[in-house]
Structure 1
Amino acid sequence: MANAQADVEPRHYTLWYRNYDNPATYALVELALQKTPEYGEFAIHRSQEITQGRALRELATNSRSLPLDIANVATTVERETALNTVPVPVDGGLLGLRVCLVLPENVDRFSEIDNIRDLRASDIRIGQGAHWPDSSILKANGVPVITHTRYEILFRMLRNHRFDCFARGVSEVLYDQRVQNAEDLVIEPHLLLAYPMPSYLFTSPEDHATAQRLQLGLERAIEDGSFGNYLRTWYSRPVAELQLNKRAIIRLSNPFLSEESRNIGRHVLKNLDRRIDLLTAPH
């Protein structure tokens, strides 16, 4: 029996390259898979470098023109309808909390902005990915947005003054600076954009087994406390370093959520201060 078990090939899961390259997201997928040993051994592979829009189309159509099994992105009604959704906010809801990556000479332009009216009245333009829900959210709130399909190109556009703020999630921005060699860019210290935008794991609509395994794994991790340990391990440093509790919070609405995700997102924002305290508490 032992030999037969040893001969079983591990299940190979291909994770979207942006998630694979992000150590926090990779660690969460690995945690969820480790918590479900009854599904068998596993191996996680990196996808080809494709845009977020292409990745989601590949999952939705299950075309298999290139291998892709799992992607972690912000949710929308459209995405939840087209894909299998694992409705657990992977970073505790931090993706909808955004700070500005800016050119050093532009930092002072943000110091007098304290609310959405100030932001709208300024001539500040925000850069975002063309396929990201953030772009539609910002536009719906009357904020000028400049987009591009490639995440990596947005850093170059910021340097070339195509826009003034590259709004990044508090769980992403320190990683961005390091991986994109963006030490010439700085994190603006005054503003925090906040909108309900849970970030979920998604699979192909036909791949129920993977979605079920991930959801079961995350539920077990929440129950046994390892999900809380994961959040503190990966996100306590950025929350503390970015000094979220000292920033002016600009709360924006997100009209593109399902009712379930709207309730989850509302809960995240309602408990914003408590979540910041939790992540910055000694452990």
Structure 2
Amino acid sequence: MIFKLRCICFSACALFISASTVSAPAPASSVAPLELRIAVVSDGRADYFVRLLEESLKLIQQPYHIQYVKDIPARRMWWMLGRGDINLFYGMQSKEKDNDKQLVPVRNALTNGLIGQRVLLVRRSDTNAFLQVQSVADLKHTGLIAGFGAGWGDVKVWKTSGLPLYEHAAPWNTIYAMVTAGNRHVDYLPRGVIEVLAEARAHPELAVEQHLLLEYPADFGFYLSPSAASYRPIIERALKAAEASGLKARLIDETYGADIKALNLNRRLRLRLPAAPD
């Protein structure tokens, strides 16, 4: 864990939430610090995004205070962001979010497109079926059904490609057991190359499919609440500095490099899917 937790209460939403506060010291110029309240989950998935933000702000000597609000369901986090109960959250970029007046998009692709490179979590008994796939049409003809959370941007990509899919409205973590069961309307989970092996380690009953790499334009981005809109140019400048200095590439490699190498992406058959329609 990268945070020490304590309990606080936001009166605006009447929820008890776990949080911690991190600060960067102000430089001699006494630049006003960014006052950030960021939604994250405590299972480690947010670690790269948190570190990228903090290290980028330090790089441009921008002081900050960050309060981490932890383990609120994703849909509620977006609602809290629109209300200003939190003022920064990260999630998949989309035209819908970018055009939402309750959200302020920070223009930077946080994983350099890696989240749009998808490897499949499958039942071990189905691995041979995927080995026979040589095209998107072949994948469609298998009749195997991809699983996604309800409302995910990937859903539009699969629909545009004509691939069978299932949208799971219940808590996301129950879908792994549904794939394993084999009788619950979902056969495989397309997961980003930066997350699939961590999930496979957490769910050893499933296998990482070894043949395919599905690609489409997608990435995570930071989103601010309207009350923090003035922070956007500062954060964008910090992230650009992280790219120019090599900091971002180094953090990606440190966080995900070993897992990406283990996936042998260059040996996989690449199937390109269209971007989600606007």
- Quickly name the TM-score band, shorter chain normalised: 0.7 to 0.9
Letter in 2 for 1:80: D
Matching of residues 1-283 of structure 1 within 5 Å: 11-17=35-41, 21-38=45-62, 40-51=63-74, 53-59=75-81, 61-62=82-83, 64=85, 68-82=86-100, 83-149=103-169, 150-161=171-182, 162=184, 163-178=186-201, 181-257=202-278
The aligned counterpart of 1:270 is none
SS of the residue 1:43 aligns to:
strand
Report the CA distance shift for 1:219/1:9 in structure 2 as closer, same or farther (over 3 A): closer
Alpha-carbon distance in structure 1 between the residues aligned to 2:267 and 2:151: 31
1:198 Cα deviation (Å)? Answer: 2.4
Letter in 1 for 2:78: L
Conserved 8 A contact 1:33-1:42: no
Decide which moves more: 9-18 or 212-221: 9-18
The aligned counterpart of 1:281 is none
SS of the residue 2:204 aligns to:
coil
Letter in 1 for 2:37: Y
What TM-score, normalized by structure 2, do the two folds share?
A: 0.80
Conserved 8 A contact 1:96-1:169: yes
What TM-score, normalized by structure 1, do the two folds share?
A: 0.78
Report the CA distance shift for 1:206/1:256 in structure 2 as closer, same or farther (over 3 A): farther
Q: What CA RMSD, in Å, does the superposition of the two structures yield over aligned residues? A: 2.6
Conserved 8 A contact 1:19-1:25: no
Structure whose residues are more often helix by fraction: 1
1:65-94 Cα deviation digits (max 9, x unpaired):
xxx222221111111111211221111101
The aligned counterpart of 1:262 is none
Conserved 8 A contact 2:104-2:223: yes
Conserved 8 A contact 2:218-2:275: yes
Alpha-carbon distance in structure 2 between the residues aligned to 1:201 and 1:96: 16
Alpha-carbon distance in structure 1 between the residues aligned to 2:226 and 2:132: 46
How many positions carry a matched residue from both structures? Answer: 246
Letter in 2 for 1:216: R
1:123 Cα deviation (Å)? Answer: 1.1
Letter in 1 for 2:83: N
Gaps of 5+ in 1: 258-283
SS of the residue 1:206 aligns to:
helix
Report the CA distance shift for 1:184/1:243 in structure 2 as closer, same or farther (over 3 A): same
1:130-154 Cα deviation digits (max 9, x unpaired):
1210011111110111122432122
Alpha-carbon distance in structure 1 between the residues aligned to 2:60 and 2:268: 40
1:156 Cα deviation (Å)? Answer: 2.1
Gaps of 5+ in 2: 1-25
Report the CA distance shift for 1:44/1:177 in structure 2 as closer, same or farther (over 3 A): farther
Conserved 8 A contact 2:84-2:225: no
Moved over 6 A (4+): none
